[in-house]
Each structure stands twice: as C-alpha cells, then as structure tokens.
C-alpha cells in the first residue's frame, strides 16, 4: 500500500511539473508602457504651459506628471495664505481631476476619492493647525488613495492636486488607463507558494528559507508596475507573506518579482 501511494505521489509531481513547463502566458500580457517620444513629451509640456500649472509641473520619460518643487516660481511661500476649508479643497481637487483628466490618464467620468490633505511638505491638514493654529500654508495638496483597477490595487499609484488660494497650480501622480488582466491565472496562490519551496531569499542582511513548516499569512492579489529596459510592465501578482516577508510572484509566469523582509525596512 505504501509503495502504491508513493507511486501516485511521484506521478502527480511529474504531471504537475510537466504542465507547468508548458504554461502559456496570456496574449498581450503584461501590459507594457513605453517611454514617451520626444514629440509627445514636448506636446504635453506645451499643453501644460497653457495652464496655470506651467511653473509647478514637469513630465517624466513615461509621460507621467509630477510636482516640480525645484522651480523657484512654483508658488509664493512667503505671501500666499490658503484658507480653504476641507470640503472646499476636496471639491476643487475633484474639479481638477475632471479638467485635467488627459494629463492624468483618467477615463472620462471618473472621479477618484480624496484620501488625504496636506501641506506641500507633507504635514497633514489637522496636524498643521494643531501645530500652527494661527497660521495658513501657501498651498494645500489633496491626494487620492491607491488606484484600483477591476478591484485590484495598483501598487505605487495615486494622484495629487496642488491648490493655491485661487487656482490649481499643480497635478502629480501615476495612474494607468488600461491594464491587461488574464481571465485565468496559471498559478493559484497555493501553487505560487509551492514554487518557492526550498528557495532562500535575502534582503538587507536577512534571509528566509521557504520550507514545509513556513508560516504563511493571507495572500493578496494586486497589480505591480515593474520598470525594465526603458519600459514599465504591469504584472498581476500574488503578494505572498511567509513570516515577516513579502514575496511577489507573477500569477501568469510564476516569476518572482521581488522579496522583502518587511520587518527590516
């Protein structure tokens, strides 16, 4: 009986291995974001120059806008006083998402919720008035939560709007308008965990060996942008949590994209 069970176990391993070797990645996956051409980059910069944001916004090589704090004429830190209440800041920011959707990759009609409001140097709205009850900052920055695409969080994304006392003077952020999500995963979370068996991962002078007795926490499925060779690849991943670690595994190819010991960050 033991010999029969052993044979069945060996056969199941061989079948599983042979199937994984023949796995095909879905057509058009992962989504690729190419670097913006010089012509398109100059076009976008020219459009921004026609707005009140011209002094505070720059564009990176992929066409994403960001705050240009190095510009001396971005805002008047000594003389501006933005006394807008929270509800006014939120309303103005949401109007900005509609007006400048083309620069932010926002689909028509979308209006992301505002998650936080802060000063240009990152002090939250409430903390600022607790520390400076008799002062006002020159600008407020309203920020969204992370982007969700078809219910999956897209790591490293959010949008920001910078508001002077009178107008929108800046927008910033990463947002993706279209992302390929295969209908079927080649690897379930459990299969992705199995791929890591007997592998050792290192991070910041710490390491972990994945073994049968590894303690796994609840996995997450998310979208992770990876920059490689002048392009951004949008991978649908399993975020796996052995112990205090996070290991990202592509749900289509089984590729390990990153491994981090969260406690060592």
The secondary structure of 136-158 as a DSSP string is: --S-EEEEE---EETTEEBTT-E
Rounded mean pLDDT of 228-250? Answer: 97
The DSSP element (H or E) to which 14 belongs, if any, is helix 2-21
What strands, in cross-sheet order, belong to the sheet with 168-174?
Answer: 114-118, 140-144, 158-163, 168-174
**Average pLDDT of the chain to the nearest whole number:** 91
Structure token digits, residue 1:
């009986």
Using a pLDDT cut of 90, give the percent of the chain over it.
87
Q: What is the pLDDT of residue 111?
A: 86
Q: Do the domain assignments include residue 2?
A: no
Does 145 share its domain with 231?
A: no
Residue for token pair 């049968």: 212
Q: How many CB atoms lie within 10 A of CB 17?
A: 9
CA neighbor of 82 nearest in space, from 118, 131, 115, 48: 118
Q: Which residues pair with 53 in a beta bridge?
A: none
Co-location of 170 and 40 in the same domain: yes
Per DSSP bridges, beta strands 206-209 and 216-228 are unpaired
pLDDT attached to residue 69:
87
Average pLDDT score over residue span 36-49 = 96
Q: 116 and 72 in one domain? A: yes
Q: What is the mean pLDDT of residues 62-71?
A: 93
44 and 78 part of one domain: yes
Same domain, 241 and 128: no
Q: Counting Cβ atoms within 10 Å, is residue 83 exposed (0-12), middle (13-18) or buried (19+)? A: exposed
Could you tell me if residue 231 is inside a domain?
A: yes
Whether residue 71 lies inside any domain: the answer is yes
Q: Which long-range contacts (CB under 8 A, 24 or more apart) does 32-38 make?
A: 32/231, 32/232, 32/233, 32/234, 33/62, 33/176, 33/225, 33/231, 33/232, 33/233, 33/234, 34/62, 34/230, 34/231, 35/61, 35/62, 35/230, 35/231, 36/61, 36/62, 36/63
Residues 248 and 192 in one domain: yes
DSSP state of 166: S
The pLDDT of residue 5 is 35
Query: Whole-model pTM?
Result: 0.88
What is the pLDDT averaged over residues 242-257?
98
Domain containing residue 187: CATH number? 3.10.450
CA distance 110 to 98: 8
Q: What is the domain count for the chain?
A: 2
Mean pLDDT of 211-231: 96
Q: Does residue 147 sit in the same domain as residue 247?
A: no
Predicted local distance difference test score (pLDDT) of residue 12: 39
DSSP secondary structure code for residue 229 in this structure: T
pLDDT at 59: 97
- Report the distance separating Cα 53 and Cα 103, nearest Å: 12
159-218 per-position pLDDT tens digit: 999 999 999 999 999 999 999 999 999 999 999 999 999 999 999 999 999 999 999 999
Tell me which residue range forms the domain holding 233: 182-264
Tens-digit pLDDT profile for residues 75-110? 999 999 999 999 999 999 999 999 999 999 998 888
Q: Which of 146, 174, 202 finishes a domain? A: 174
Q: Is pLDDT at 17 greater than 80 in this prediction?
A: no
Q: Which of 174, 201, 223 is the last residue of a domain?
A: 174
CA dihedral sign, ordered 95, 101, 107, 108: positive
pLDDT reported for residue 108: 83
d(CA 110, CA 103): 14
Determine the average pLDDT of the residues in 129-155: 97
CA atoms within 13 A of residue 147's CA, in its CB half-sphere: 24
Residue 43, H or E segment:
helix 38-48
Q: How confident is residue 70, by pLDDT bands cut at 50, 70 and 90?
A: confident
Eight-state DSSP code of residue 131 = H
Q: pLDDT category, 241, cuts 50, 70, 90?
A: very high
69 versus 115: which is more confidently predicted? 115
Q: Is residue 219 over pLDDT 50?
A: yes
Structural domain ending residue among the three candidates 157, 174, 191: 174
């Amino acid at each position: 009986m033991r010999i029969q069970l052993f044979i069945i176990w060996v056969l199941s391993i061989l079948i599983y291995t042979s199937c994984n070797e023949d796995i095909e990645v879905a057509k058009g996956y992962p989504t690729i974001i190419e670097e913006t051409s010089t012509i398109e980059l100059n076009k976008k910069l020219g459009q921004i120059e026609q707005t009140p944001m011209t002094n505070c916004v720059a564009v990176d090589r992929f066409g994403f806008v960001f705050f240009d704090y190095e510009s001396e004429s971005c805002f008047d830190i000594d003389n501006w006083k933005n006394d807008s209440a929270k509800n006014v800041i939120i309303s103005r920011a949401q109007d900005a998402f509609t007006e400048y959707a083309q620069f932010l990759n926002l689909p028509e009609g979308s209006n992301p919720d505002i998650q936080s409001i802060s000063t240009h140097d990152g002090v939250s709205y409430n903390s600022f008035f607790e520390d400076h009850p008799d002062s006002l900052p020159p600008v407020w920055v309203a920020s969204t939560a992370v982007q969700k695409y078809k219910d999956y969080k897209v790591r490293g994304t959010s949008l920001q709007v910078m508001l002077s006392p009178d107008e929108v003077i800046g927008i910033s952020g990463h947002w993706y308008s279209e992302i390929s999500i295969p209908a079927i995963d080649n690897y379930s979370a459990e299969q992705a965990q199995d791929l890591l068996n007997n592998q050792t991962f290192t991070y910041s002078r710490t390491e972990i060996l994945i073994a049968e007795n590894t303690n796994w926490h609840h996995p997450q499925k998310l979208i992770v942008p990876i920059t490689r060779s002048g392009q951004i690849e949008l991978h649908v991943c399993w975020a796996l949590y052995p112990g205090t670690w996070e290991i990202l595994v592509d749900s289509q190819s089984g590729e390990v994209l990153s491994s981090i010991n969260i406690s060592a960050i």
